[in-house]
Structures are given as structure tokens and as C-alpha cells.
């Protein structure tokens, strides 16, 4: 295929999707239409996958130590991906470079790629992006969104073909622009889909949800109850291998954060761990000092203190991140509550916090722009403006009982509330990561006063934070038997009995 094929495919994709309420079913349907145009090539592709899988299984029968699906994909996935990209979707695979592949465990594999966009490809993606007048792809920008759905679709084809419980997805992507070219650096993960765990979780959640209602048979309740008990048993069976899995998981986070040069992928996990430590009889900082920093013999006291500063900053931001995410539910009422949370976060501390604090990505630029604006208007934006926003927020609280909340926001802001919230969320993450980098630079300047202190780099800090999270989890959760860990918690007889601890550990993965 050449660039004309890619452009034609993108235009076909845009024609099918534009103006519709885009979802994963529609995406799958559109991609199937594309590959149906090359039925014979698609049959050949499926046959190739089947042959490789059968060959792998036949060899496996003669092995004393059986190999898992990750070995199969380690050996074959790159060939599948290049054939799929070039044959059906117009990518020039000569521009696709496999940078790294690692089998972290028997159940987890990741591959790192770089794709170098030609000027024609870059222009094609930009043109299609501009043509999307609807908000179908809000939150996705070409070519990142396109690539995400392609990898998901490839994973679906492979899973259906080999009938194995695998999960293949694009997990991280970043656009890198240089004088020579624009490239896409991305990570694909292949892991166990954990179908049994998710089905059991669903049964447990449904059991607790339906229990207060009348008219549902005990037979059905018992079926759901079996699902709940099966989940606990899965957690207990998995508990002895938790340490090894935890190391693998944190290494994955380390790789993802460094690929993106962003700490965002770790925020949710960070908050989950921090919240559980707060339920324990231990102090997070005490654990860090005694179990981690005490082992850094080559670090000065100043450098250790700086690491604690970084931890506290991330701890605070991870709590905010999880609070925003917990309120990001589909109903308009939930979206209104989320909007009010963002308003409280950004405007609750007044105008000065926006001008000199760490709420915004570029607070000094904001202050300068605001000053220039105020010079040219009579109705200046000042402290009273923030007070007016507070009055507006008080009014918005009354909207929670109105059925069509979106109408109000579209009239005033020309956007629906969920898209406003998405913009605030992106702003929060952008500001957080930029401020984190700024803090690293500021602390390094202070540390440089002592020539024995080597500066912190982003990857070193991520490495340290991952190790700290391991220490925290190990301290409160991991024992020979989960019942032995109950004594580490304030509430050892209900929320943190042995099987619940095993379940909390399972949730980490």
C-alpha cells in the first residue's frame, strides 16, 4: 500500500463515523467493512495466525515446562502487526520500528514501537481531524485515536482466532516532533484478560445491588453468591504470588511513565495504595523513612528529605485525581457535581492562587495575559470576578434537580458539560505534570549547593516512587497468610479480615 491507500481508508473511516454517536461496536463494524474489501487476504491472515498457534501448542505438548501465550506473542506479534497494518490499513511498515519487547511474566508482555509519519501521512491525519465537526472523537486526536482503535481491533481478531483469553491494547502513545519528522512512540501490552475474575466481580456487585429488592428468586441470588465466593477463592489462591506480580506491575508502570514522560499513569494506583495505608496502624512517612530511605546510604539527608517532598506532592495530587475520576460518571447530575468540583479546585482559593500558585500550567503567562486584558476594558477581571463565579456556583447547585442540565451549559458555554469537564481534566493533568517537572528542577538547584548531591532525574524519581509503593504494600498487605496481615489495620475484624485483604491485593493487579 502507498499513501493514497492510507488517505482513502481514512476518508472512508471519516465518512462512516462522522456525525454519529461513536462507540466500540460502531468502530468494530467500520473496521470489518474495511477488511472485508480484502476477504482473501483476511482469510490468509487468520490462517497464518491459526498455523502459528497450532505449531506453538504442538511444541508445548512436548515441553516439560509449558510456555504461555506471552511466549507465542513474543515470537509472532510483530509479524502479525506489520501484516495487519500494511495489508489492510495503509501503513508503511518500513517506517515502523520495534524498539523493545519484554516478557515481564508468563501473563504480561509489552512491546515498544516508533512509527515515523511521512509528510503525506501527517497531512492526511490532520485533514481528517479538521473535518470532524461533531464531537465524535472528543478526547482522541488523530492519529492517536486511530491507532488505539486499530490495535484493539487487531486484538479482537487474534483472540477470536486462537480462542485464548488474551487482552491486546495500545496502552501508551506520545507524539514526538523533530526537525526531520514527526513520530509516534507507543507501547502495546498483551496480557491475560482475567475473564473469570471480572465475571466473578460482576456477580458479587450484582448480588449486593439486588439484595434489597423483592421478587428475585433465591436460586438467582445463590448463583450470584457463588460468583462472590469464587472471587474470594481466586483472591486467596493468587495471594502467595503477590510479591512477584507486584514487582512486574510496578516495572510496567515505570516503563509507561518514562515512555510518556508523565507521572499520570501512576496516580490512580498511588492513591489506592495511599488510602489503604491510611486504613492501617502505620504512617506512610514513617514506613518510607524506616523501610526505604534508611537503605539509601549514598543519599544525603537533604536528598532524602527532597524525595519525601516529591512523595507528599504526588500523594496530594493523586487524591485529587481519584476524586475527579470517582465523580466522572455518565449521568448529567454526576457531571454537574464533577463540574462544581473543578470550579471549587480552580476558583476556591481566589484569583491570586491562579496567578502565582500551581493550579495552572503557566500561571505567569495567565497573569500577564490578564493584566493586558484589563488594560483595554472597563469591566476588569479581578477579585470581585471570582466572587461572582462563587455566586454562579451557588446557583448551579440548584440545577442538580433539573432533567436537562446540558441545555443550560450549551446555551452559556456552547459545549455540553461532559466536554467542559474533559477540558478541565486535561488541564489538571497538564498542569500537574509540568509543575512536577518544575519542582524537580527547583529542588535540584537547592541540592546543587552540596556538590555531593547528584541531581534527580524524572526516571530516577519514578523508580524511587515505584519502590516506595512496593515497600508500603509489602508492609501492610503481604504476609505468609492474609489473616496475619489483619493486625496491620485499624479495622481488622470486618473490612480487613483475611479474605478481604486477599481481595484488596488482587485489585492491585
DSSP annotation of 280 reads B
C-alpha cell read off for 264? 499520570
Interatomic CA distance for residues 256 and 254, integer angstroms = 6
Q: Do residues 456 and 442 make contact, with C-beta atoms less than 8 angstroms apart?
A: no
**Strands 166-177, 108-117: parallel, antiparallel or unpaired by DSSP?**
unpaired
Report H helices in 327-416: 332-347, 351-356, 363-375, 383-397, 405-413
Instruction: Give the bridge partners for 116, in sequence order.
Output: 183
Backbone angles phi, psi at 444, to 5 degrees: -65, -35
Interatomic CA distance for residues 439 and 455, integer angstroms = 12
Enumerate the domain spans of the chain.
Answer: 3-192, 197-323+453-508, 331-445
Q: Is 175 helix (H, G, I), strand (E, B) or coil?
A: strand
Q: Do residues 174 and 185 make contact, with C-beta atoms less than 8 angstroms apart?
A: yes
Q: Is 109 helix (H, G, I), strand (E, B) or coil?
A: strand
Q: Give one word for 350, left, alpha or beta, with left for phi > 0 and alpha for psi -120 to 50.
A: left
Per-residue pLDDT of the chain (509 residues; tens, 9 = 90+): 455 666 666 666 666 566 554 555 666 777 777 888 888 999 999 999 999 999 999 998 888 888 999 999 999 999 999 999 988 887 888 999 999 999 998 889 999 999 998 888 777 777 776 665 444 333 445 667 778 888 999 999 999 999 988 999 999 988 888 888 888 899 999 998 888 888 888 888 888 888 888 888 888 888 888 888 888 898 898 889 999 999 999 999 999 999 999 999 999 999 999 999 999 999 999 999 999 999 998 999 999 999 999 999 999 999 999 999 988 988 888 888 899 888 888 887 777 778 777 777 777 888 888 888 888 888 888 877 777 777 777 777 776 667 778 888 888 888 888 888 988 898 899 889 988 998 999 999 999 999 889 999 999 999 999 999 999 999 999 988 889 888 998 877 778 888 888 888 888 87
**Strands 182-192, 166-177: parallel, antiparallel or unpaired by DSSP?**
antiparallel
Interatomic CA distance for residues 57 and 60, integer angstroms = 5
Amino acid at each position: 500500500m502507498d499513501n493514497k491507500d492510507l488517505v482513502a481508508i481514512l476518508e472512508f473511516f471519516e465518512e462512516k463515523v462522522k456525525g454519529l454517536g461513536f462507540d466500540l461496536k460502531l468502530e468494530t463494524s467500520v473496521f470489518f467493512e474495511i477488511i472485508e474489501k480484502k476477504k482473501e487476504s483476511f482469510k490468509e491472515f487468520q490462517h497464518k495466525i491459526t498455523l502459528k498457534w497450532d505449531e506453538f501448542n504442538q511444541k508445548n505438548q512436548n515441553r516439560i515446562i509449558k510456555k504461555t501465550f506471552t511466549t507465542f506473542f513474543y515470537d509472532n506479534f510483530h509479524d502479525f502487526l506489520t501484516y495487519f497494518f500494511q495489508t489492510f490499513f495503509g501503513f508503511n511498515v518500513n517506517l515502523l520500528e520495534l524498539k523493545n519487547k519484554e516478557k515481564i511474566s508468563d501473563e504480561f508482555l509489552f512491546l515498544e514501537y516508533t512509527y515515523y509519519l511521512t509528510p503525506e501521512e501527517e497531512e492526511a491525519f490532520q485533514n481528517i481531524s479538521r473535518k470532524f465537526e461533531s464531537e465524535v472523537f472528543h478526547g482522541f486526536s488523530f492519529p492517536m485515536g486511530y491507532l488505539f482503535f486499530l490495535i484493539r481491533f487487531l486484538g479482537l481478531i487474534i483472540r477470536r482466532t486462537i480462542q485464548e483469553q488474551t487482552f491486546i491494547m495500545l496502552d501508551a502513545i506520545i507524539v514526538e516532533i523533530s526537525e526531520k519528522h514527526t513520530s509516534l512512540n507507543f507501547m502495546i501490552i498483551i496480557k491475560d484478560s482475567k475473564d473469570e475474575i471480572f465475571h466473578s466481580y460482576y456477580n458479587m456487585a450484582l448480588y449486593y445491588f439486588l439484595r434489597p429488592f423483592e421478587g428475585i428468586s433465591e436460586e438467582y441470588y445463590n448463583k450470584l453468591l457463588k460468583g462472590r465466593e469464587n472471587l474470594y477463592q481466586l483472591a486467596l489462591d493468587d495471594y502467595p504470588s503477590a510479591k512477584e506480580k507486584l514487582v512486574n506491575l510496578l516495572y510496567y508502570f515505570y516503563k509507561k511513565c518514562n515512555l510518556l514522560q508523565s507521572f499520570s499513569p501512576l496516580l490512580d494506583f498511588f492513591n489506592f495504595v495511599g488510602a489503604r495505608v491510611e486504613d492501617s496502624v502505620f504512617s506512610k512517612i514513617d514506613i518510607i523513612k524506616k523501610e526505604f530511605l534508611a537503605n539509601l546510604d549514598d543519599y544525603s539527608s537533604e536528598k532524602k528529605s527532597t524525595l519525601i517532598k516529591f512523595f507528599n506532592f504526588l500523594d496530594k495530587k493523586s487524591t485529587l485525581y481519584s476524586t475527579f475520576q470517582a465523580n466522572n460518571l455518565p449521568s448529567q447530575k454526576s457531571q454537574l457535581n464533577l463540574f462544581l468540583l473543578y470550579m471549587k479546585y480552580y476558583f476556591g482559593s481566589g484569583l491570586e492562587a491562579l496567578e502565582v500558585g500551581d493550579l495552572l500550567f503557566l500561571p505567569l503567562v495567565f497573569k500577564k495575559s490578564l493584566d493586558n486584558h484589563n488594560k483595554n476594558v472597563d469591566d476588569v477581571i479581578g477579585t470581585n470576578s471570582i466572587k461572582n463565579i462563587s455566586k454562579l456556583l451557588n446557583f448551579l447547585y440548584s440545577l442538580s434537580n433539573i432533567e436537562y442540565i446540558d441545555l443550560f451549559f450549551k446555551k452559556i458555554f456552547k459545549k455540553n458539560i461532559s466536554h467542559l469537564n474533559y477540558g478541565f481534566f486535561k488541564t489538571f493533568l497538564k498542569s500537574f505534570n509540568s509543575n512536577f517537572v518544575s519542582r524537580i528542577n527547583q529542588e535540584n538547584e537547592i541540592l546543587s549547593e552540596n556538590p555531593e548531591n547528584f541531581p534527580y532525574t524524572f526516571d530516577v524519581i519514578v523508580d524511587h516512587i515505584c519502590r516506595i509503593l512496593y515497600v508500603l504494600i509489602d508492609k501492610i498487605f503481604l504476609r505468609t497468610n492474609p489473616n496475619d496481615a489483619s493486625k496491620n489495620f485499624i479495622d481488622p475484624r470486618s473490612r480487613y479480615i483475611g479474605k478481604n485483604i486477599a481481595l484488596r491485593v488482587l485489585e492491585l493487579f
